[in-house]
Amino acid sequence: MAIISFKRIGHRILAVVGLTVSLGLGAIAWFYVDYQERAVLAQNERNMLRLTEAVSLNLQSVMLAGYADIAQSFAERLHKVEGIDDFYILRTDGIEAFGDNRTIVAVNQRRGEELFRPRDKEVERRLVAADNPLLRQALERRAPAVAYGTDEHGERNLRILAPILNQASCHKCHGQAQPVRGVIMLATSLDMVERDIYETRKASILVLAPTLLATLILTGLIMRRSVVRPIESMTSAMLRASAGELDQRVPVKGDDELAQMAGSFNTMTNELLKTYRGLKLEQDKLTTIILGAGEAIIVTDAADHVVLVNPAATALLGKSQERIVEEGFLQIFDRPDLMEQWLGGPVADSGPHTLEYNAHVLSVHAARINDAQGKRVGSAALLRDITEEKRLEDELRRLSNTDSLTLLYNRRYVDESLQTELDRAQRYRLPLSVLVLDVDHFKRFNDTHGHEVGDRVLQAVARALRAALRGLDSPCRYGGEEFVAILPSTNKAGAYALAERLRQDIERLVVDGLQVTASIGVAEFPDIEVTQQARLIGAADAAMYQAKRSGRNRVCIAHSVALDQGT
């Protein structure tokens, strides 16, 4: 047995149409049955009203003919009418009529003679309460009052209270004071009527069931052929297209909405196929670029799951692709705090950042990527190996700050470094000393023995200077035969002691059989109050010339002088 799945649109359409048709036919049948029921009840009610009207007329005829003595017999015969449960003639107060002599006595008194002989036996029986709403309605409206109810056996019944009006022909005996002389009470069971209604309902169902079945079958066939099959065909094509088969085509039959939908689908898949082929071509180009790029590229999705790692990244980081994916984006350099810091800034500040990792110096661009609405779409990192560039840069910087002959720092380095040290000494109130050294009679070495000997003398002095200084000191060739030493955190006493040892070391030098000596000047900040490094060099230079004037091969300290702070 096939199981109907309401996940399929065809079955849902058939179910909706079937339900709609069933409800429509059911509503028509209900309306018809309800109409028939009301019609039967109305007809029965009209018949009962006619019956009460006929009884009222007959009773009046009997009374007008002067046969009041047979009125009681007439009323008693009403009790035996077939199909009627209760059939009584009542006075207006709800007591059964023709049971006592009240009306006879009143009529005889009004007429002044004994027209009617009183009854020998009187019976007073109340059938309806005097304040009964149905009775009050009949009396007040002077028209039959009708009510449907249920008897003590639970069966439905119809009760009618029809007033007997006081006609002009009755005034002679009864006067005009009361507009209503009495009430005819009729109560009848509705069993027969309900049996007729039941038969009507049964007949309606017998007609409705095959009609509904035939309608559903016919509607289902029409709907399946004209609607469900085209929709299923299009759905199947859509599923295949969503799976990547973009060459799907749906037959276009007719010019209705489904045909227009099929045409639109064919146009859409054709455009998608063109776009897909274009994107595939661009993707192939991009893949070639990414995989062949010398720079390392790592990309994540919105949840920070690594989704792309090119071969350059694995080679540069020394990690497999699986390890990079498993450890996550923040662990690229095994320093998640650093990555968080880089990624926390705006895209414009994404780099480059310089980092040493895995024996490489890397230039890193790392950033979170957001769409136009500010929603994160992923993160990306671009790594470039700048190890060789960094080495060349450092070498270039070293060469730019190094004297090629002596391999000491050159004058450019002195100008930059000394000003930095002077600013630091002023900021932290630290001493700073400078030595200026000049080789004695150097021109004589060049002129007498040649420049090659002079160069060897300079190299020997440079070695002695470097050997005498600490690691934080800076030995420099300032120009020609003049040297400078920058001594951070050193006062003039310490500088003098170092200069004197250096002088002695140089004095012990013998280059190509030649004796070498030097004159040295010392200047200290803040003993020399200056703000510019040239003034401090100038003070040490002046002290060095003082040493030369004093006989050379000696050390002199610059005198304390107050210089203008703006110089």
Q: Which three-class secondary structure state does DSSP give residue 353? A: strand
User: Quick one: 91 exposed, middle or buried, by C-beta within 10 A (0-12, 13-18, 19+)?
Assistant: buried
Say if CB 161 and CB 144 are below 8 A apart. Answer: yes
Direct distance between the N- and C-terminal alpha carbons of the chain, in angstroms, rounded to an integer: 107
Nearest Cα neighbor of 528 from 415, 418, 367, 396 is: 418
Cα(518)–Cα(545) distance, integer angstroms = 11
CA 138 to chain centre: 71
203-to-196, 200, 206, 210 alpha-carbon distances in Å = 11, 5, 5, 12
Is 326 one of the catalytic residues?
Answer: no
Q: Which three-class secondary structure state does DSSP give residue 252? A: coil
The pairing of strands 353-357 and 86-90 is unpaired
Q: What are the two backbone dihedrals, phi and then psi, of residue 353, each rounded to the nearest 5 degrees?
A: -110, 145
Cα(537)–Cα(542) distance, integer angstroms = 9
User: Quick one: 188 exposed, middle or buried, by C-beta within 10 A (0-12, 13-18, 19+)?
Assistant: buried
Partner residues linked to 297 by β-bridges: 382
Q: Concatenated DSSP letters for 97-119?
A: SSSSSHHHHHHHHHHTS--SPPP
CA angle 525, 528, 532 (to 5 degrees): 75
Catalytic residue among 481, 507, 524, 529: 481
Partner residues linked to 365 by β-bridges: 382
Instruction: Indicate which residues carry an active-site annotation.
Output: 481
